[in-house]
Chains A and B, each alone.
Chain A
Amino acid sequence: MDGARRNSEAPRHVRDFWHRHTDQLIALIFVAPALAYVGYFAFYPALDTIVLSFQTPIHPFTTFNYEYNVGSGLYTWIGNTLWLTAGALALQFGLALGIASILSRPFRGRSIFATIAILPIGIATVVAGFTFSQIFPGTGSGYANSILEFFGFGPYYWLNSTSGALAAVVIADSWKNTALVVIILVAGYASIPQSLYQAAAIDGAGPLRRFRYVTLPGLRSFIVIALLIRGAQEVNIFQMAYIMISSYPQLLTVQIYVLYETAGGLYLASAVASVLLGIVAVFIVLVLVIGGRR
């Protein structure tokens, strides 16, 4: 029984109701500082960016910044960013499913492999970017080609083409971030009761069918959450891309930075930043919709 009951004359259901209300209110007070912080440091600047995107030094409201950026190739930048995101998500989820599946069984050296699997999280993004720019360099051959030549294949100049350059960034980013997806999926595997596997095995299902009918459905909510979070983060990729491929092929975040660093480019940068925000908003809406359906 709680000890805050004071008004012992009021009927019990009123006391409990009031008490529950106070409880909720106090809980909200505990959450309030974090909400205030987030409101001032995240939502307010985000709104500010949108407001700035419709301004220029002499016009208080205009769509010029968007028109200008479209003329500079905005649609191509969006396309590049989305291709990169799709490729990275595909690679990360394919690898993570495999790694998490391996980690779900016992075998000798599993703990060592688990450590190796999450080691990339600790490597700073700029360090990883720098290292991968030696693997996929602009001039010269790079370590990727040293490896290819070791297996007898000819050298391939990754950064020469848009698709090769994006592929290089996809590989670099996936190296670092697959571990995050692995962690989430491992939690998912842990939540699937062994009894389901046993039942399936008794029914005669082989490993592939067990994967399809037991594992995947059980992982569904985990995959969805991880996809949406990683998708939003992937769209935001900046340092890795800028270090490896500089400004060609253009991605949204790199363009925002380049425009921001250009004198008088603040409003143009805000417009591209708002476009980026719009894409992320699509992911956010999906989180809300799919999460709400549970």
Chain B
Amino acid sequence: MSAVWAIIVVVVAVAAGLGGYFAGKSTTSSTSTVTVTYYDDLASSEASFMTGTLIPLFEAQYPNINVNYVNIDAGSMVTKISSLVQGNDVGTTIIGEDNLDIGELIYSSNGNELMNLTTIAPLMEPTTMIPSMAGITNYETTAFGGTYFLPYRANTPLVWLNETTLKSHGISSPPSDFLGSNSLMTDAQRLGSNSVMFQGGAGDDTATEMFQWDVQFGGNPMVYNDSGDLAAMSYLYSLSKYMNPGYKQAIYSEYAGLAEGKYSILDYQWPYVYSLLTTGNTTVPAMPADTLWVYPGPNGTGAHAAAHVIGGDVIAIPKGATNVWALQLFGQFLLSAKAQQLLMVDTGNPAVNAAAYIGLPANQTVVDSAIEAALENPVFRPPVPWIETWVQNFYNDIFTPVVLNGGGLSAIAGDAAHANSQMESYLSSTYGPTVASEYSAGDFGPLYV
């Protein structure tokens, strides 16, 4: 009887294995077509657009190239690409990677794992790139000695407000400043507690928002403790009294709270939420466009009062990829005016190709004008390989003790100094004393290209 059981188990296991194998296999194959594997990190609505609209457009134009899209988060993409490069198993692969994570592939322990694109970049990159994006490629030549990635989708966080609620409290326009009579703070005070959402949590979001604020207060966010940084942190602590407590756990879908009425000011969220908030679907109730204010955000103080963090994604090709001609055609397509315009209209991601802004629907949406305004004053986070440790360090050493644990204003200076020394010792132990002393001297800072 046990033999029968053993046979049943084996048969089922084999059947399940075969089933999984066949279900995962692609159904089309042809000896003359090339299959491009395209990795990217997109929200599910954006990914649907990519596979349903954009890729078929490319495949129709080039019938002998198939594109296989794989959705994978930015961090795991680095591990995956690294393992492919080290295993000499890259194939025909192109990636759309977050601009911060791309640094890990360049500075990996295995050397630079990206293909040098200097010769084919002119074929892929349009001549009509918007100025701040064109500046990135110049920066690459200086920093890396060549072009290793191309800007693909710019992304810039915006501030979103519930116009109806604010107006009912006597606020007639979005706050123009951090301080002063029409400021974020006075608005929050008028709206009361639970009115502001600030993306806390250990992810990039908190650190991105603080980077933005530090720059606008005139500080260097990388060192944590210059006067501008301390001013921004004090401001955050004072504002936290008015924040919806959900910021502590920061589940991404919490942007929906704006449409739900759980809070009325969403401080910095990427523009992809615009279509989700205004059209609504089974996940988010609709927020009619005339109840939504969106703009780049309040102005700070000093020279960089209106500077705006630009994030976004870049296109790169792993070292050792095959059929580069097909990858070059696909990259060229993704950066073309048509594709960029479609991406921008459908997913809310700002286009890097200026030509994409021509011929947009006559009534430009509020979010497009907000994005254009933000893109005029770009500031970039330096693509150093230790940027994520910088993020974690900020969260553990400053944000948690001061804001989450209620350490208060008096704790800020001490915690920031502690964060600075932690970062320095990390750099010393991981990259050596030279990098550590450069860090202490403030050599690493925001990039104004």
State yes or no: do A and B touch (Cβ within 8 Å): yes
* Minimum CB–CB distance for B384 against chain A, Å: 10
Contact with A along B178-198 (1 / 0, CB 8 A): 000000000000000000010
A211 to B132, CA, bound (A): 77
Let me know if A64 and B249 touch, CB within 8 A: no
* Minimum CB–CB distance for B106 against chain A, Å: 11
* Minimum CB–CB distance for A38 against chain B, Å: 22
Which residues of A in the span 29-57 have a Cβ within 8 Å of any Cβ on B? 56-57
Contacts of A72 in B (CB 8 A): 392-393, 396-397, 422
A: contact size bracket = 20 to 34
A137 to B109, CA, bound (A): 41
Query: Given contacts A71-B397, A265-B389, is CB(A139)–CB(B262) below 8 Å?
Result: yes
Let me know if A258 and B392 touch, CB within 8 A: yes
Let me know if B200 and A264 touch, CB within 8 A: no
* Minimum CB–CB distance for B423 against chain A, Å: 10
Indicate if A233 sits at the interface (CB-CB under 8 A): no
- Of A96-104, A200-208, A245-253, which stretch is located at the interface? A245-253
* Minimum CB–CB distance for B247 against chain A, Å: 8
Let me know if B201 and A139 touch, CB within 8 A: no
Contacts of B395 in A (CB 8 A): 247
Let me know if B392 and A64 touch, CB within 8 A: no
Indicate if A23 sits at the interface (CB-CB under 8 A): no
Let me know if B429 and A248 touch, CB within 8 A: no
Contact with B along A150-165 (1 / 0, CB 8 A): 0000000101101000
Contacts of B385 in A (CB 8 A): 263-264
Let me know if A261 and B397 touch, CB within 8 A: no
Let me know if A248 and B200 touch, CB within 8 A: yes
A159 to B392, CA, bound (A): 21
* Minimum CB–CB distance for B135 against chain A, Å: 24
Query: Given contacts A248-B249, A264-B389, is CB(A71)–CB(B418) below 8 Å?
Result: yes
Nearest residue, chain A, Cβ from B387: A263
Most chain B beta-carbon neighbours within 10 Å: one of A73, A250, A264? A264
A277 to B332, CA, bound (A): 50
Indicate if B101 sits at the interface (CB-CB under 8 A): yes
Indicate if A262 sits at the interface (CB-CB under 8 A): yes
Nearest residue, chain B, Cβ from A266: B109
Let me know if A56 and B386 touch, CB within 8 A: no
Indicate if A68 sits at the interface (CB-CB under 8 A): yes
Which residues of B in the span 347-394 have a Cβ within 8 Å of any Cβ on A? 385-389, 391-393
Contacts of A261 in B (CB 8 A): 75
Let me know if B78 and A263 touch, CB within 8 A: yes
Let me know if B429 and A263 touch, CB within 8 A: no
Nearest residue, chain B, Cβ from A246: B249
Let me know if B392 and A262 touch, CB within 8 A: yes
Which residues of B in the span 236-293 have a Cβ within 8 Å of any Cβ on A? 244-246, 248-251, 254, 257, 260, 262-263
Let me know if B109 and A57 touch, CB within 8 A: yes
Query: Given contacts A62-B429, A73-B396, is CB(A265)–CB(B388) below 8 Å?
Result: yes
Indicate if A212 sits at the interface (CB-CB under 8 A): no
Nearest residue, chain A, Cβ from B197: A139
* Minimum CB–CB distance for B250 against chain A, Å: 6
* Minimum CB–CB distance for A238 against chain B, Å: 15
A37 to B245, CA, bound (A): 47
Contacts of B257 in A (CB 8 A): 139-140
Indicate if B426 sits at the interface (CB-CB under 8 A): yes
A227 to B396, CA, bound (A): 32
Let me know if B396 and A263 touch, CB within 8 A: no
A261 to B425, CA, bound (A): 20
* Minimum CB–CB distance for B425 against chain A, Å: 7
Contacts of A71 in B (CB 8 A): 397, 418, 422
Let me know if A264 and B397 touch, CB within 8 A: no
Contact with B along A242-282 (1 / 0, CB 8 A): 00011110100000001101111100000000000000000
Query: Given contacts A68-B422, A263-B101, is CB(A58)–CB(B430) below 8 Å?
Result: yes
Query: Given contacts A71-B397, A247-B201, is CB(A262)–CB(B251) below 8 Å?
Result: no
B residues apposed to A, CB below 8 Å:
75, 78, 101, 103-104, 109, 197, 200-202, 244-246, 248-251, 254, 257, 260, 262-263, 385-389, 391-393, 395-397, 400-401, 404-405, 418, 422, 425-426, 429-432
Q: List 5 A-B contacts (CB under 8 A).
A: A68-B429, A71-B422, A140-B260, A246-B249, A264-B385
- Which 4 pairs, one residue from A and one from B, show the smallest C-beta to C-beta distance? A139-B246, A138-B246, A138-B249, A247-B202
